[in-house]
Amino acid sequence: MKHQIYIWACLCLGIVGCKQAEKPSTEVMQTTTAIEVQGHRGERGHSPENSIRGYINAIKKGVNVIELDVVIAKDGSVVVSHEPYMAALYVLKPNGDTISSQEEKSLNMYQMTYDSIQKFETGLKGNTNFPQQQKIHAYKPLLSAVIDSVELFVKQHNLTPVGYNIEIKSVPSLYGTYQPYPQEMVAKVMQVLSSKPIAGKWNIQSFDPAILEEVHKRYPKVTLAFLVHREGVAHNLKQLSFVPDIYSPNYKLLQNEKTMDSLHVKQLKVIPWTVNDSVAIAKMIALKVDGIITDYPERVLRQLP
């Protein structure tokens, strides 16, 4: 059975770097299991993605790790966002106007300073792919603000430390236009992480082998996860000059125990993404993955043995 610890929260929640204070919950749950539960972009199924509110809500539900994405602004700020532009799907302009799919990529955050970026609304429009997502005020926070807010919440409620799975969003064809080149990008992210008291509680992940190579070269002790979306374990791993700590595939690529065995024999942890429906969750649990990245952490937690 899961070991569940219920902590009654009696203090008001103060969120560092958040424009609108979170109302305190009456209960915070933490769960210890053999399979690590990671809240994808917080808990995108119910809260605006990559928002401070979403990360806190995921922690309240009992995640072990929060998963987040980072991009770089014009002024060098490390911003928590899945896209390097203002996505029409869920972002509104500062005046409340919608963003068309034709103009979204012209709103390039690598060409915007953070004081402009934070004025865009990322929660009130909602997300049609996640109809249960709350329509509440949110904005794209700084990585530093997310860490400060999470660490404060954990400390205030005497919780077990929460981990950070940080994806550096990087596409080679966008080098120099929507993002810096890998060396600069990694340096910016590491500058933030090294300034925070979270040693041993975070890892870097990326789809871009160049990012992982840069981290491995300059910071060899950092835990690295290779995100993959194509079949072929051997082919995927040949893209790197080293063996990463974590292999993180689309969950549909994990078909059977043979695939799992081929990864575990290499001493790789296996943490698939993004596992949301009950059938897929059950299959990943049966395959004994090391972690599950999900938009609905409460669904995974309910199904864990």
Give the whole-angstrom CA distance, residue 198 versus residue 176.
30
Q: What pLDDT sits at residue 250?
A: 98
Cα separation of 60 and 302, whole Å?
14
DSSP 76: S
CA angle 64, 204, 4 (to 5 degrees): 5
Q: What one-character DSSP code corresponds to residue 182?
A: H
Comparing CA positions, the residue from 91, 83, 79, 90 lying closest to residue 108 is 83
The pLDDT value given to residue 31: 54
Separation between Cα atoms, residue 225 and residue 168, nearest integer Å: 11
pLDDT of residue 157: 97
Minimal CA–CA distance to 212: which of 180, 245, 175, 261?
245
Report DSSP state, residue 260: H
Apex CA 257: angle with CA 255 and CA 262, to 5°?
Answer: 100
Q: What structural domains does the chain harbor?
A: 3-70+142-303 (3.20.20.190)
Q: What is the pLDDT along the chain (305 residues), one digit of tens a residue?
A: 443 333 333 333 333 333 333 333 446 665 556 899 999 999 999 999 999 999 999 999 999 999 999 999 999 999 999 999 999 999 999 999 999 999 999 999 999 999 999 999 999 999 999 999 999 999 999 999 999 999 999 999 999 999 999 999 999 999 999 999 999 999 999 999 999 999 999 999 999 999 999 999 999 999 999 999 999 999 999 999 999 999 999 999 998 999 999 999 999 999 999 999 999 999 999 999 999 999 999 999 999 99
Structure tokens at 138: 């949110």
The amino acid at residue 186 is V
Query: Quick check: 300 and 40 in contact, CB under 8 A?
Result: no
Residue 153: which of 63, 233, 240 has the closest Cα? 63
